[in-house]
Amino acid sequence: MACVQTSPSRPYHVVVFGASGFTGQFVVEELARTAFEGPSGTLSWAVAGRSKPRLEKVLEQAAAALSKPELRTVEVIVADVKEADSLTAMCKQAVIVLNCVGPYRFYGEPVVKACVENGAHCIDICGEPQFLEGMLLNYNSPAAEKGVYIIGACGFDSIPADMGVLYTRDQFRGTLTAVESFLTVSMGPEGGCIHEGTWQSAIYGFADSGKLRSMRRKFNHQPLPVVGSKIKRRSALFFSDEAQQYAVPFMGADPSVVKRTQRFLVEQHQESPVQYGAYAGVGGVGNVVKMMFAGMMFWFLMKFSFGRNLLIKYPEFFSFGLFSKAGPTRKQMAGSSFQLVFYGEGYTQGKDPKDGEPDGKIRTLVQGPECGYVTTPIAMVQAALTILNEPKALPKNGGVYSPGAAFAKTTLIDRLNKHGIQFSVN
């Protein structure tokens, strides 16, 4: 049984909202796999979404996939983002809502609001910095008052990167000052792709990036102090000796999420800040040419509403098959994996950071299964179990947190290690 208890009026440890979405269905399966783990007992959970038949179909499918007929009896809650009362009713019943309804810029805020008002913690798998930082701006104080944890970016974006930086820092003997990470993704003979839900989130996110810059000014943040040498920004495309292929700056939420975590640790715990640069391998020259062509079309079309509609209508065409309406098959997912290698530098024990350049290096690795629909559900579910089982290791007050800020003092990394997302010194 989890430490945090349910009650007759709040009967579910976890409610998966958006369970009938492409990602939601795999979160349901992951939760079903882990709900009965642990020395003593089970989690109580339910699925939620706007269509009862679609939710029942997901339970049916999970029951068949996992050979667990009892999943057919999991409770179904009908809730629609556009109906505030339905969100209130859902949030009142849950200790934690796992929110899989995106794009978050369109659907996320009413869920955060309902969670805060009704005392449910909320975990999402958002990779949209504008939404994540907007929630911090608008809901940090009300969430703190209610003792509610709102923890965004708990999927592949950005648990491996955020927890990976903390892991690298903790493994380094001394003061870690800077880390660069290189992501490479491997696919099996069946290939692979990403579901259109993420494509849509990316289109609207990039199209609106001007608003993100103006919103950030509202925080009035001072730049984080730099310890050691200032990290060098690499160019927009370069051959990476680390990844042994061409690489580009990572376009997702990881750098901004890691920065939020570092700011929290510096400001709240007076820890030494770690600078971070994130890069992703894109492969050989053929891929670079495709990526440049697709990138140019994307940047041009996303600026106009007709262009965005075209991009949304034909994800396969405009992304050279990287995104698709159908999403990856189970076989494709089984053949895919990721490696995120961290190259850190810092001052070894006893060396004063005021005294010259960093003198120590470390290389760590986070690796795991397919990113979007295997790693993401594992990370999301383990984040929820961490809240349920280690409430005393979370920040003292509720609020809106990045994963690293929320889970820095917990055993989340050990939990991930046991569930196929492995952290190691390399």
Ligand X SMILES: NC(=O)c1ccc[n+]([C@@H]2O[C@H](COP(=O)([O-])OP(=O)(O)OC[C@H]3O[C@@H](n4cnc5c(N)ncnc54)[C@H](OP(=O)(O)O)[C@@H]3O)[C@@H](O)[C@H]2O)c1
Residue 165: its H or E element: helix 159-171
Task: Choose which of 2, 18, 175, 402 interacts with ligand X (CB under 6 A).
Answer: 18
Cα angle: 252, vertex 165, 140; to 5 degrees: 65
Task: Choose which of 51, 186, 309, 424 interacts with ligand X (CB under 6 A).
Answer: 51
Q: Report in angstroms how near the CB of residue 182 gets to ligand X at its nearest.
A: 18
Q: Report in angstroms how near the CB of residue 31 gets to ligand X at its nearest.
A: 15
Task: Choose which of 13, 113, 169, 195 interacts with ligand X (CB under 6 A).
Answer: 195
Task: Choose which of 12, 14, 22, 46 interacts with ligand X (CB under 6 A).
Answer: 22
Task: Choose which of 12, 95, 120, 127 interacts with ligand X (CB under 6 A).
Answer: 127
Query: Which residues are bridge partners to 364 per DSSP?
Result: 342, 425
Task: Identify residue 185 by its one-letter amino acid code.
Answer: V
Comparison of 105 and 228: residue with beta carbon closer to ligand X: 105
In the region spanning residues 149 to 168, those forming contacts with ligand X, defined by CB under 6 A, are 155-157
C-beta separation of 163 from 365 below 8 A? no
In the region spanning residues 89 to 108, those forming contacts with ligand X, defined by CB under 6 A, are 100-104, 107
Task: Choose which of 23, 130, 245, 386 interacts with ligand X (CB under 6 A).
Answer: 23
Query: Which residues are bridge partners to 122 per DSSP?
Result: 97, 150
DSSP strand E in 170-271: where?
A: 174-186, 194-195, 238-240, 245-249
Neighbours of 392 (CB within 10 A): 9
Comparison of 111 and 362: residue with beta carbon closer to ligand X: 111
SS3 217: helix
Residue whose structure tokens are 């952290």: 423
Query: Which residues are bridge partners to 230 per DSSP?
Result: none
Q: Report in angstroms how near the CB of residue 232 gets to ligand X at its nearest.
A: 27
DSSP strand E in 170-261: where?
A: 174-186, 194-195, 238-240, 245-249
DSSP strand E in 90-198: where?
A: 94-99, 121-124, 149-151, 174-186, 194-195
Task: Choose which of 129, 197, 358, 403 interacts with ligand X (CB under 6 A).
Answer: 197
Task: Identify residue 190 by its one-letter amino acid code.
Answer: E
Q: Report in angstroms how near the CB of residue 405 gets to ligand X at its nearest.
A: 17
Residue 24 interacting with ligand X (CB under 6 A): yes
Q: Which of these ranges, 22-30, 64-72, 217-225, 301-309, lies near ligand X under the rule CB under 6 A?
A: 22-30
Comparison of 197 and 368: residue with beta carbon closer to ligand X: 197
Comparison of 54 and 363: residue with beta carbon closer to ligand X: 54
In the region spanning residues 56 to 75, those forming contacts with ligand X, defined by CB under 6 A, are none
Q: Report in angstroms how near the CB of residue 52 gets to ligand X at its nearest.
A: 10
Comparison of 228 and 252: residue with beta carbon closer to ligand X: 252
What are the structure tokens assigned to 16, written together? 């998966």
How many angstroms separate the CA atoms of 240 and 182, rounded? Answer: 9
In the region spanning residues 345 to 374, those forming contacts with ligand X, defined by CB under 6 A, are 372
Comparison of 144 and 416: residue with beta carbon closer to ligand X: 416
C-beta separation of 337 from 368 below 8 A? yes
C-beta separation of 167 from 366 below 8 A? yes
Site string for ligand X, 173-192 (x = CB under 6 A): --------------------
Residue 80 interacting with ligand X (CB under 6 A): yes
Residue 201 interacting with ligand X (CB under 6 A): yes
Helix, strand, coil percentages in the chain from 3-state DSSP, rounded to 5: 45, 20, 30
Strand order across the beta sheet in which 238-240 lies: 238-240, 245-249, 275-283, 174-186, 337-348, 360-369, 422-425
Site string for ligand X, 235-254 (x = CB under 6 A): --------------------
Q: Report in angstroms how near the CB of residue 28 gets to ligand X at its nearest.
A: 11
Task: Choose which of 15, 43, 81, 408 interacts with ligand X (CB under 6 A).
Answer: 81
- By beta carbon distance, the residue nearest ligand X is 102
What are the structure tokens assigned to 359, written together? 């003198």
C-beta separation of 268 from 306 below 8 A? no
Contact residues: ligand X, CB under 6 A? 18, 20-24, 49-51, 54, 80-82, 100-104, 107, 125, 127, 155-157, 195, 197-198, 201, 372, 376
